[in-house]
Structure 1
Amino acid sequence: MNILWSEARALWRARTLVWVLTRREVASRHSGTALGIVWPYLQPLLTVAAYYLVFDVVFGMRLGEQAPTRAVGAYLVVGALPWMAFCDAVQRGMTSLIDAGSLLHKNPLPPVLFTSRSVLASFSIYGPLLLLVAVAYIPAHGLKPAILALLPLLLLQMLLCMVLGYALAILAAALRDVAQLVGFLLSVGIYLSPILFPMQLFPQAWRWVLWLNPMTGLVMGYQQVLLQGLWPQWSVWCATLVWVCALSVVLNALVARSRDQLVDWL
């Protein structure tokens, strides 16, 4: 893992540059829009507001007694917003090296800077939205001490996206088909996680399939904190850490194999 540590050190040494790049990335997402900086935040907010309006206000749909909450819309919002953050960070991180190809050809900058920029830009948008949802769900969690678990959950999700996005960025640079494949997997991944339905409704013999989704543990953690006011179970932390460690091993091997060829691929 020495190579991965060297990447982390390079990222830390260039932290000021990463901050500048991240601010520019966020600015580029609302450049030319009438609403300005409000627009990147408004899009996901309107999406989750639509979930609440349709399922809770219009149809009044309810889940079973084993669910963390009876209201379907309230249940969907807690899982869908972290999932949108995950998809946005992973997709933008995956294409970050391809987008920065011309710059990397001219400047000997560490490629990890550009993946980090994309992931951090996504979390600078979705992070505040998740905290805003936590405030909106105060009647559900009652400001219990478990609400403090939101910060490590967010940091763990950001680390997961950083590692996965960087690994996919290297693969996408080598094989452009990777972007299409990952886009398909992300589109169906929401159905293989406890976002649209509680895990208890999934056939018990097939629940292990849900754990193949790296976001399953984190989604359950958000649900336990925001809907029940409970500290996330150990399975939440363990499953996510296993994913992060496994992806880190893969990323270390990818960086080692691609170090001398990455710029040529771009």
Structure 2
Amino acid sequence: MWTELRAAWALRPLLRAMVWREVQARHAGTAGGLLWLYAQPLLTIAAYYLVFDVVFAMRLGEGAPARAVGTYLIVGMLPWQAFAEGLSRGMHSLVDAGHLLQKNALPPVLVVLRAVLGAAVVYAPLLLLLAVAYAPLHGFAWPMLALPLVLALQMAFVFVLAYLLAILAAALRDTLQVVAFLLSVGVFVSPILFPITLFPEGWRWVLWLNPMTSWVLAYQDILLQAQWPRATAWAGMLAWLAVAWLAWRPVWRRSRDELVDWL
């Protein structure tokens, strides 16, 4: 992995230009321009708050990290959207850029990084803005300092997992369909739509099969309860990052000489 990242660092001016073109392509031909990239997640957040907290004034039960439903949903849904967007774009990156890699001797890592960083350009500022919005609720408590580290771990995990899936998708296109289905149902198997305390205790282990459970719990601890993320959240984040890396290594080695042929 360090070899791959060093190659990307050596070509960072090219990577920067590729990321910028990736972002520009997503709003090309629109009058709103860059604003449209942020409009959808911001409008989703506004809808949650308006419908659940203002119109219906719905409240969660005892043991929930927050009483207001909309306030609770936003903290989990925005990181999930960032995860799904970065993973989906990164997974498709090698297949979509097959013609480019066949004609140019570019490191494949550049293509994956372009897609993942393109999603991060949109969602990383929104997650930090979310912290600014929630921090006054707790008087800017010191656990807020953990948020950049949690966000950095999420970006690292998305990159490694997206790189792994991009290689698998190049070898077997069924990967795209399987992962798209898992992303569509994954939000229901996580503590995003409901507190983890409401899930039957004997089945809570199922939630930990979703890698984003650890990150969602960490965001909830920081933004909703103003406390340092629980030990299980840290352990889960590091464990999933390690699993993704260990799975990536043999797949990358196997694909080095055949990736372009697969594409």
TM range (shorter): over 0.9
The CA distance in 2 between the partners of 1:189 and 1:141, in whole Å, is 30
- Say whether residues 1:31 and 2:28 are aligned partners: yes
Q: CA deviation at 1:177?
A: 1.1
Deviations 1:103-153 (A, max 9, x none): 100111110111111111111110111111111113323211111111001
- Say whether residues 1:119 and 2:116 are aligned partners: yes
What is the TM-score normalised by the length of structure 1?
0.97
The CA distance in 1 between the partners of 2:201 and 2:28, in whole Å, is 48
Q: 1:49-128 maps to which residues of 2 (within 5 A)?
A: 49-128=46-125
Report what 2:230 is aligned to: 233
Two-structure CA RMSD over aligned residues (Å): 0.9
The CA distance in 1 between the partners of 2:20 and 2:234, in whole Å, is 30
The CA distance in 2 between the partners of 1:167 and 1:215, in whole Å, is 17
Report what 1:171 is aligned to: 168
Equivalent of 1:150, from 147, 151, 164? 147
Seq. identity, % = 59
- Does the CA-based 8 Å contact 2:135-2:144 persist in structure 1? no
Report what 1:203 is aligned to: 200
- Say whether residues 1:248 and 2:245 are aligned partners: yes
Deviations 1:167-214 (A, max 9, x none): 000011111111111010001000111100000000000101111111
- Does the CA-based 8 Å contact 2:116-2:159 persist in structure 1? yes
The CA distance in 1 between the partners of 2:34 and 2:180, in whole Å, is 26
The CA distance in 1 between the partners of 2:13 and 2:233, in whole Å, is 33
Given residue 38 of structure 1, which amino acid in structure 2 is its aligned partner? L
Q: Give the count of matched residue pairs.
A: 263
Report what 1:223 is aligned to: 220
The CA distance in 2 between the partners of 1:181 and 1:170, in whole Å, is 14
The CA distance in 1 between the partners of 2:66 and 2:169, in whole Å, is 40
What is the TM-score normalised by the length of structure 2?
0.98
Residues 121 and 141 of structure 1, relative CA distance in 2, 3 Å threshold: farther
Unaligned runs of 5+ in 2: none
Given residue 87 of structure 2, which amino acid in structure 1 is its aligned partner? V
Task: Tell me whether 129-138 or 117-126 shows the greater mean CA deviation.
Answer: 129-138
The CA distance in 2 between the partners of 1:211 and 1:13, in whole Å, is 37
Given residue 226 of structure 2, which amino acid in structure 1 is its aligned partner? G
The CA distance in 2 between the partners of 1:246 and 1:141, in whole Å, is 35
Given residue 172 of structure 1, which amino acid in structure 2 is its aligned partner? A
Task: Tell me whether 49-58 or 135-144 shows the greater mean CA deviation.
Answer: 135-144
Given residue 177 of structure 2, which amino acid in structure 1 is its aligned partner? Q
Q: CA deviation at 1:95?
A: 0.3
Equivalent of 2:179, from 179, 182, 204? 182
